[in-house]
Amino acid sequence: MLNFEKEQKVVEIGPTRIGGQPGENPVVMIATVFYTNHAALLDEKTGDFDKKLVEQELNEYSEIIEETGMQGIIDIVGAYPEALLKECEFVADIVDYPFLVDGLNDNSRIPAMEGLKEVGLSDRAILNSLDEATSEESLTKMKEIGVKSAVLLTFGNRYIFPHQKIEFLKNVLIPKAQKANIENIIVDTAVLDLPSIGINVETTRLVKSELGLPTGFAPANAIYGWDFVKKYGSKSRCGGITSLMAYCINAGSDFVLFGPIKFAKCVIPAMALISGINSYYRKRILRKKISDRTPLKHIF
């Protein structure tokens, strides 16, 4: 089992603790809402959606998170700033978890972050993401708004392999975050496609080993686009999804973006099993402290 020599930073946003040694804190299971083809999304431009369906999905997700002893964050996707702000406010009213403000670009993300500050929700809002395309103007605006938390996305045509992603983080993304006065840095090692996810595993370990930052990745788009497994039916597809998420956790990931919230029942209980096993090993074998919140107290 992994145990990093580097001291690990733990980011606390609302009730959620992201980071630490494997097994120290439950893995954060990030569920996405208002994605393309989400049944609840009626008009992405206006932000009109089926409130009853979204509330039902959020409540079911919350029940699974609480019953398993895992941790939660909601990934809120939006292409238009007004719609994204509306969606964030609704989600924040239903659940207490932090949420990713996941706009397509800074033109949607930053105005939404500004609006969230005005309504008193900026402490729970995580900008997703700060990346290669983030301009100096955007960094200045983030600083003015007082953005506290951001995901640093290690994506770029020149940053494919693990050592390149680490240098990109050190030399470009972290300095950008510092310019914007970002307090809570979370690293997404940027999945390219399904067969290359081994690169994310190694990058995650390097980030944890060298920088000690909260780290994870988002295999959702890659796995849901995997047509091969679909011919075996929904059960086989769920098994494929879950196996990949388990692979993410065993890389030492502090969080996993597992995709559409409707797959919570497929993914989270299995991930709680792995998270609980890691916590048991850390406590019994390594004789190290673990969080008071753990699947150990819920699923065994």
Q: Are the beta carbons of 149 and 182 closer than 8 angstroms? A: yes
Task: Collect contacts of 131-139 with beta carbons under 8 A, ≥24 apart.
Answer: 131/155, 131/156, 131/173, 132/156, 132/159, 132/168, 132/172, 132/173, 133/105, 133/106, 134/106, 134/176, 135/106, 136/179, 138/106, 138/110, 139/176, 139/179, 139/180
Closest CA to 243 of 270, 216, 272: 270
Closest CA to 44 of 89, 76, 78, 75: 78
| Tokens coding 229 | 């497994």
Amino acid 157: pLDDT = 85
Closest CA to 279 of 7, 26, 30: 26
Question: What are the pLDDT digits (tens) for 71-121?
Answer: 999 999 998 999 999 999 999 999 999 999 999 899 999 999 999 999 999
Q: Per-residue confidence of the chain (300 residues) as pLDDT tens digits?
A: 789 999 999 999 999 999 999 999 999 999 999 998 899 999 999 999 999 999 999 999 999 999 999 999 999 999 899 999 999 999 999 999 999 999 989 999 999 999 999 999 999 999 999 999 999 999 999 999 999 999 999 998 899 999 999 999 999 999 999 999 999 999 999 999 999 999 999 999 999 999 999 999 998 888 888 989 889 998 888 888 899 999 999 889 999 999 999 999 999 999 999 999 999 999 999 999 999 999 998 999
Q: Are the beta carbons of 58 and 52 closer than 8 angstroms? A: no
Instruction: Give the DSSP H/E element, type plus range, for residue 42.
Output: strand 41-43
User: What is the distance between the alpha carbons of residues 167 and 284, in angstroms, rounded to a whole number?
Assistant: 36
Amino acid 202: pLDDT = 96
Architecture of domain 26-297: Alpha-Beta Barrel (3.20)
Amino acid 234: pLDDT = 85
C-alpha pair distances (Å), 131 with each of 28, 122, 165, 175, 176: 22, 20, 12, 11, 9
CA-based radius of gyration for the chain: 18
Amino acid 237: pLDDT = 85
C-alpha pair distances (Å), 46 with each of 4, 88, 122: 46, 13, 22
Instruction: Give the DSSP H/E element, type plus range, for residue 71.
Output: strand 71-78
Q: Delimit the domains of the chain by residue range.
A: 26-297
Amino acid 156: pLDDT = 86
| Tokens coding 204 | 């995650």
Question: Structure pTM?
Answer: 0.95
User: What is the distance between the alpha carbons of residues 263 and 17, in angstroms, rounded to a whole number?
Assistant: 23
| Tokens coding 79 | 């292409």
C-alpha pair distances (Å), 39 with each of 165, 220, 234, 267: 35, 17, 18, 20
Residue 196's contacts (CB-CB under 8 Å, 6 or more residues apart) are none
How large is the angle between the packed helices 234-250 and 264-284, nearest 10 degrees? 30
